[in-house]
Amino acid sequence: MKALYLEKIDGPDSVIMADVETPVPGPGEVRVAIKAASINHRELFITHGQYPGMTVPTTLGCDGAGVVDMIGEGVSGASEGDEAVLYPARNWGPNRHAPAADFGLLGMPFAGTIAEYICVPVENLAPKPAFMSFEEAGAMPLTALTSWRALMFKGRLQAGETLLISGVGGGVATFGLAFAVAKGADVYVTGENQEVIDRAIAMGAKGGLLYTDPDWRKQVGKLTGGVDVVLDGAPAPSFANYVRAINPGARIVIYGSTAGNEIKFNATDIFLKSASIVGSQVGDPQDFQEMLAFASDHQIRPAITSRKADICEAAASEMGALGTCIPLPADLSTPEAAVDLVARYRDAVGACHILVNNAGKTWGGEIDSFPDKAWPGVMAVNVQTPFTMVRELLPELGAAGTDDDPARIINIGSVAGMKTERLSAYSYAASKAAVHMMTRDLAGDLAARNITVNAVIPGFFPTKMTAHMRDEDSVDAGLLAHIPLGRLGKPDDIAGIVVFLCSRAGAYVTGAQIPVDGGVVGCG
């Protein structure tokens, strides 16, 4: 199998993609075919030898999600085909307050997740949250678990308390913000620049301070009104700045030392307020289960930007041959993110002649078990966010449109919103029907502003949403029989309709819903 392999301790250049022996599960173990894994800053430390108990060569990575494909002897509670996210460590032991001596993370000292397969004890498995993609689940374990344990187990954070996150922006701090807001805490942050603080506020923080301001210690008490819990991964330069703002009984939780190990403070600031300073690392299996349950209940997921940034950069590079193309990666899972994207677009470009609302999300499941939580996220991405994009860009679109050449808005719908397809994707189908109706409403309202609004209605195309109906070499025969033209759609099929609507030929078309589906709607 292929694996990301560290051959020697000599920096990142010593990491290779290698062919290694495919593991076979032993007693009590399962083998997981990894669908997605992520890289933490920890992996960089490892390549430089900055990790206790180093042993090489090794497979890197402690975060991963995939599908169980082999069961070892004596295993119960797991089946082949189970979709799972991996607890990122082994051998925590019975003491919930601290790990056992032989505790360790996947990827050092134990075999890592950045490989085609990994064998782990069955206790390392947790069901992948249904609302998450494999990429999202695979990016979550270490950072989310570290944050959860620090806040909820060590920090004992309660609804209504005030939390200060020192140095927001990294994975642990960002998850801490999401968890705390969902918990009902009042969250304040410090950050290196105003953009980071503004993003935190968009996620629910009450306010923030620049830790680059030498006088921020004079402002933190006034801003927060007193702090009950502090989450800090780099306390050395910041501790003295916030310690006088803590309330009686406060808990200061330290989960890292990335800015140095020496902390200076007055003992009286701690004992006179009966405050606690506690250390926290990773989390035990119970923390992991509780974290995943909370994330599922509150639809908390990682914001994956690097993968999308790579895709944006690649597309921009390809299209750059035709003209200027600026990549602006964004996760449009919330209306707030749409507002942020428009602001960044406005700063980078300014004018807007054409808006294509293409972001989409789905959820499938049988009616008997289709959960209530399958609705808010799907409706937000598919309906609310496109509306927000239109509203926020109205000044630019209105300025660009003329009587002869109106500005264009194109919403991407789906045949699932026009015809019953028996896909058991109830929230998705309803959301796309809403997109079609919203398109007609917007078209009528915006015509006087010289803005056309149309919907393109794709049928079955080779995308991630149809991956379960096909493999690399073939397409499910039943699906093809359902399509009058007898094939899946191709990129040019969609591109042609979009170009038509954006060209002079489409200037007199608005409020239309155009199926591009091989005849599924029109011939059915």
How many C-beta neighbours within 10 Å does residue 339 have? 16
**Alpha helices, H only, 217-326:** 217-224, 239-242, 268-271, 285-298, 306-319
Q: How far apart are CA 141 and CA 282, in angstroms?
A: 9
Q: How far apart are CA 334 and CA 300, in angstroms?
A: 11
Contact 37, 113 (CB under 8 A): yes
**Alpha helices, H only, 261-381:** 268-271, 285-298, 306-319, 335-348, 376-379
Q: Please, is 27 exposed, middle or buried when counting C-beta atoms within 10 Å of its C-beta (0-12, 13-18, 19+)?
A: exposed
Is-catalytic flag, 428? yes
Q: Please, is 503 exposed, middle or buried when counting C-beta atoms within 10 Å of its C-beta (0-12, 13-18, 19+)?
A: exposed
Radius of gyration of the chain (CA): 26
Contact 138, 64 (CB under 8 A): yes
Q: How far apart are CA 507 and CA 202, in angstroms?
A: 37
Question: 49-85: string of b/e by CB count within 10 Å (b at 16+)?
Answer: eebeeeeeebbbbbbbbbbbebbbeebeebeeebbbb
Q: How far is CA 13 from CA 4, 46, 47, in A?
A: 12, 12, 8
Of 211, 218, 216, whose CA–CA distance to 193 is shortest?
Answer: 211
Element (H, E) at 451: strand 451-458
Question: 206 — phi, psi (to 5°)?
Answer: -80, -25
Q: Per the residue annotation, which of 117, 426, 428, 508 is the catalytic one?
A: 428
Q: How far apart are CA 476 and CA 464, in angstroms?
A: 15
Question: 340 — phi, psi (to 5°)?
Answer: -65, -45
Cα atoms in the 13 Å half-sphere on the side-chain side of 316: 12
For residue 172 the two structure tokens come to 């642990």
For residue 256 the two structure tokens come to 């890292």
Q: What share of the chain is helix, strand, coil (3-state, %, to 5)?
A: 40, 20, 40
List active site positions.
Answer: 428
